[in-house]
């Protein structure tokens, strides 16, 4: 971290400030006295340094980080890829490609079991299904809640597919004890209380990127979970808001290699929420795999026109079968 002090700051004030930095944080301070101003260089563990506090000091002209503010999620301190073991055979981030598939919302036992069987036959290795749904309208279907989680468990028993479902509230953590991967939705990416609580859980968390979150904000949210002791974070790029409104969101393909460069955490891509249109799922999924994604999460519904949520972006099981074959074929050809 580089701090430029205002011109003509008295030497005793610089000394006081330097002493305070050394006592408050685990850093050493290097000092360069120029003709007009003094520059301080903070060396050491600067991720806990409060940049806003520094910037607010009267003697400070400007301050700049030269190191990322996240530590546990940072590849610099953990050069090897993190591989997250879900079951004996399913490890996300080990170089293999996993497809998580299923409906946006769990609607009935028949629906979820039927979809689970078909996506498994097509090559999906995990089952998704929303039980608690964060909907823009309070009048829209809000999910089957705990009953939805029970139905997912029935589908897991029938097919052996591990289950992924979204949590919305800290108070629900106990209810998710038997869910294999807990999803944090885009709208909750900065629900810091929830992230902190998930840091205390010994379970993988699929952390979706917020609708307007920068890559750094997204990684800082991962840092919240990891700072609590839970290192099992899977990042999920699901499109961000841009001025383009042809698609529901804009898939940020560049985020995949960028996040892989900055972090050791696995990255999964959601082409369904990124596009909002079922016909765009295949090309976006292919692009994500080509760009290095560790997995995909794809919405599949047995009757999209009658789906209780996100029908327009859901593939039918037959469409999914075709898309999954193309995706897995591409992955194979990349070896
Ligand atoms: C979902 O997965 O159904 C969902 C609501 O996703 P997101 O949080 O990315 O909008
Ligand atoms: Mn959805």
Per residue in 247-305, pLDDT (tens digit) is: 999 999 999 999 999 999 999 999 999 999 999 999 999 999 999 999 999 999 999 99
pLDDT at 122 over 90: yes
Task: Report the residue among 211, 238, 269 best suited for mutation to probe ligand 1: largest number of ligand atoms under 8 A from its CB.
Answer: 238
Count of residues making up the chain: 335
| Helix, strand, or coil (residue 252) | coil
pLDDT digits (tens, 9 = 90+) for 271-285: 999 999 999 999 999
Query: Is pLDDT of 10 > 90?
Result: yes
* Residue whose C-alpha is closest to residue 34's, from 66, 64, 5: 5
Ligand nearest to the CA of residue 239, numbered in listed order: 1
Is 35's pLDDT higher than 90? no
Q: How many angstroms does the Cα of residue 68 sit away from the middle of ligand 1?
A: 28
**For the segment 52-105, what is each residue's pLDDT rounded down to a tens digit?**
999 999 999 999 999 999 999 999 999 999 999 999 999 999 999 999 999 999
Stated as kind and residue range, the H or E segment containing 208 is: strand 205-208
Q: Which ligand is nearest to the CA of 130?
A: 1
Task: Please give the mean pLDDT across all residues of the chain.
Answer: 97
Compute the distance from residue 132 Cα to the ligand 1 centre, in Å: 11
Dihedral of the alpha carbons of 167, 172, 173, 174, in degrees to the nearest 10: -140
**Residues with C-beta less than 6 Å from any ligand 1 atom:** 104, 130, 134, 185-187, 208, 238, 270, 273
Between CA 110 and CA 117 the distance in angstroms is 11
Q: How far is the CA of 273 from the centre of ligand 1 (A)?
A: 7
Q: Would the CA dihedral through 236, 242, 245, 250 be positive or negative? A: negative
Residue 42, pLDDT > 90, answer yes
pLDDT of 300: 98
Measured from the alpha carbon of residue 312, the closest ligand is 2
Q: For residue 206, which ligand has an atom nearest its CA?
A: 1
Structural domains of the chain sorted by starting position, each given as residue range(s) with its CATH number in brackets: 2-64 (3.30.70.1140), 84-333 (3.20.20.70)
**Predicted local confidence at residue 251, as pLDDT:** 98
Pocket test for ligand 1, best of 189, 270, 309 (most atoms within 8 A of CB): 270
Instruction: Name the band, by pLDDT with cuts 50, 70 and 90, for residue 45.
Output: confident
pLDDT of 163: 98
Q: Quick one: average pLDDT of 149-157?
A: 98
DSSP calls for 68-115: -S-STTBGGG--SPP-EESSSS-EETSS--EEEEE-SB---HHHHHHH
Q: Cβ neighbours of residue 125 under 8 Å, at least 6 residues apart?
A: 89, 90, 98, 99, 100, 161, 162
Which tokens hold the place of 272?
A: 């369904």
Going from the Cα of 165 to the center of ligand 2, the distance in angstroms, rounded, reads 11
CB neighbour list of residue 268: distance below 8 Å, 6 or more residues apart: 92, 98, 100, 206, 234, 235, 236, 237, 293, 294, 295, 296, 297
Contact 130, 155 (CB under 8 A): no
114 contacts 101 by C-beta, under 8 angstroms = no
**What pLDDT was estimated at residue 206?**
98
pLDDT attached to residue 37:
87
Residue 104 C-alpha to ligand 2 middle, in angstroms?
4
Mean pLDDT of 207-217: 98
CB 187 within 8 A of CB 195: no
- Return the pLDDT at 62: 97
Residue pair 97/327 in contact (Cβ under 8 Å)? The answer is yes
* Residue whose CB lies within 8 A of the most ligand 1 atoms, among 131, 136, 182, 273, for a mutation test: 273
Maximum separation of any 2 CA atoms in the chain, in Å: 77
Ligand 2 centroid to residue 65 C-alpha, Å = 37
- Mean pLDDT over 322-335 rounds to 97
Q: CA 210 to CA 274: how far, in whole Å?
A: 12
Task: Over range 37-54, report the average pLDDT.
Answer: 93
Ligand index nearest the alpha carbon of residue 269: 1
Supply the pLDDT for residue 72: 96
CA distance 320 to 98: 14
* Atom from ligand 1 closest to the CA of residue 104: 3
Residue nearest to atom 1 of ligand 1 (CA): 104
Counting ligand 1 atoms within 8 A of each CB, the residue from 183, 301, 309 with the most, and so the one to mutate, is 183
């Amino acid at each position: 971290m580089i701090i430029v002090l205002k011109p003509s700051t008295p030497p005793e004030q610089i000394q006081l400030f330097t002493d305070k930095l050394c006592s408050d944080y685990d850093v050493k301070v290097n000092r360069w006295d120029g003709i007009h101003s003094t520059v301080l260089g903070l060396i050491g563990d600067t991720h806990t340094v409060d940049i806003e506090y520094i910037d607010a000091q009267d003697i400070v002209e400007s301050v700049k980080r030269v190191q990322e503010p996240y530590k546990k999620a940072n590849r610099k301190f953990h050069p090897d890829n993190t591989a997250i073991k879900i079951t004996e055979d399913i490890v996300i981030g080990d170089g293999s490609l996993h497809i998580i598939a299923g409906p946006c919302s769990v609607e009935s036992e028949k629906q979820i079991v039927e979809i689970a069987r078909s996506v498994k036959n097509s090559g999906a290795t995990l089952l998704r299904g929303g039980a608690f749904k964060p909907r823009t309208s309070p009048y829209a279907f809000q999910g089957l809640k705990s009953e939805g989680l029970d139905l997912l468990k029935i589908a897991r028993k029938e097919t052996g597919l591990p289950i992924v479902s979204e949590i919305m509230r800290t108070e629900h953590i106990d209810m998710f004890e038997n869910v294999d991967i807990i999803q944090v939705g885009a709208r909750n990416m900065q629900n810091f209380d929830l992230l902190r609580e998930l840091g205390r859980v010994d379970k993988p968390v699929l952390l979706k990127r917020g609708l307007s979150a920068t890559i750094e904000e997204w990684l800082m949210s991962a840092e919240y979970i990891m700072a609590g002791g839970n290192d099992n974070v899977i990042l999920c790029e699901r499109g961000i808001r841009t001025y383009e409104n042809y698609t529901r969101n804009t898939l940020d393909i560049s985020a995949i290699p960028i996040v892989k460069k900055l972090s050791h955490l696995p990255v999964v891509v959601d082409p369904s929420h990124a596009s909002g249109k079922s016909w765009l799922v295949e090309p976006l999924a292919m692009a994500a795999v080509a760009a290095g994604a560790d997995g995909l999460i794809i919405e599949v519904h047995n009757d999209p026109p009658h789906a209780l949520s996100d029908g327009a972006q859901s593939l039918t099981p037959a469409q999914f079968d075709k898309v999954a074959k193309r995706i897995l074929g591409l992955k194979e050809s990349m070896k």
